[in-house]
Chain A
Amino acid sequence: MKSLAELEQIRQRTLDQIKMRTNKDGIRIVVGMATCGIAAGARPVMNKLVEEIGKRKLGDVSVSMTGCIGVCKLEPIVEVINADGTKVTYVKMTPEKASRVIAEHIVNGRVCQDLTITAAEEAEK
């Protein structure tokens, strides 16, 4: 059985990495996790985001949950808040699309235009 004391080793291991990170604000990723988001499959999307960020060791990127973003029919919704404060809203997300967002937007800085709320609204017209 694992014991919480093992966290002490993780603390020591990650402390140096954290100190090496730049102090500038990183990218924040927020996943809508109210009833609508959860029911639409926001959990697997969030799992994928966390997994990809861990795998690629993206130190300055954080993922967290929030409540209802307000457009429930487009859930799961993922908001990417860039370091400069600009925001991109991705809608109808899946774990596969989440991997794409990490690779194209977060790592390479290219917004996945076809997955944004703007694209979804255009398609509805």
Chain B
Amino acid sequence: MREIALHILDIMQNSVAAGAGRIGVSVTAGNDTGMITAVIDDDGCGMDERTLQEVTDPFTTSRTTRKVGLGIPLLRSSCMRSGGNFSITSQKGHGTKVTASFGKDHIDRPVLGDLAGVVADMSASFPKIDIRLELISGEECFTYSSAEAARILGEVPLSEPAVIEWLKEYISEGIKHIFGGVLDEIAG
């Protein structure tokens, strides 16, 4: 995966498979800490202790089409090679939380990528799930909730092309505002 956004998308698909009604994505980056931290948490079915210990093993998967599951191992190795960390906590019946951090200025860190597109498309594809996004840098914060957008839209679906396009622009603006000048790839 070449972008942090793609890793986030991948982990969000796990939340969808876990039957989540809410998926929260939070990205924090700061010049003070020198790290980018992404947290994906959901209220899905969660995992028991044993499964939780096995998920970073590429030969563990809940899918039935194949015997390998690479989403979590790929994210973990990406964090590790860019001077970050990876952790996953879960409670059976309550949800799962994945925390992935990267050294902000590490040469092997993937770029943030098209996070706006990922969040907008997830909102459109899974209208019954409240997709939330939180971007934090220092004192600045940007928040988005697909449930809130859906409420304003009323009978117009989130999957309407004009809506998706607008959401992408809206979230892109937020990313630029919060991370401009903080992440190398986003101009200040």
Contacts and interface: CB of A to CB of B under 8 A. Distances in A.
A47 to B, nearest CB: 6
A38 B1 contact: yes
A47 B117 contact: yes
B173 A67 contact: no
B9 A43 contact: yes
B176 to A, nearest CB: 10
Interface residues of A, number: 33
Contacts of B164: 50, 54
Contacts of B163: 7, 10, 14
A7 B169 contact: no
Given A1-B177, A50-B164, A68-B63, A10 B10 contact: no
B69 A35 contact: yes
A30 to B, nearest CB: 9
Given A39-B1, A54-B164, A62-B159, A10 B125 contact: no
Contact of B13 (A5, A8, A33, A54): A33
B149 interface: yes
B125 A34 contact: no
B169 A10 contact: no
Interface string B1-12: 100001001100
A70 interface: yes
Given A4-B149, A35-B74, A47-B117, A14 B160 contact: yes
Chain B interface size, under 10 / 10 to 19 / 20 to 34 / 35 or more: 35 or more
A1 B1 contact: no
A101 to B, nearest CB: 16
Nearest to A18: B156
Contacts of B177: 1
Contacts of B71: 34-35
Contacts of B74: 35, 39
A43 B149 contact: no
A103 B148 CA distance: 34
Nearest to A53: B161
A54 B126 CA distance: 19
B165 interface: yes
5 contacts: A11-B154, A43-B6, A54-B161, A54-B162, A68-B66
Q: Which 9 A-B pairs have the closest CB atoms?
A: A54-B161, A64-B125, A70-B65, A35-B71, A65-B125, A7-B152, A2-B170, A11-B156, A35-B70
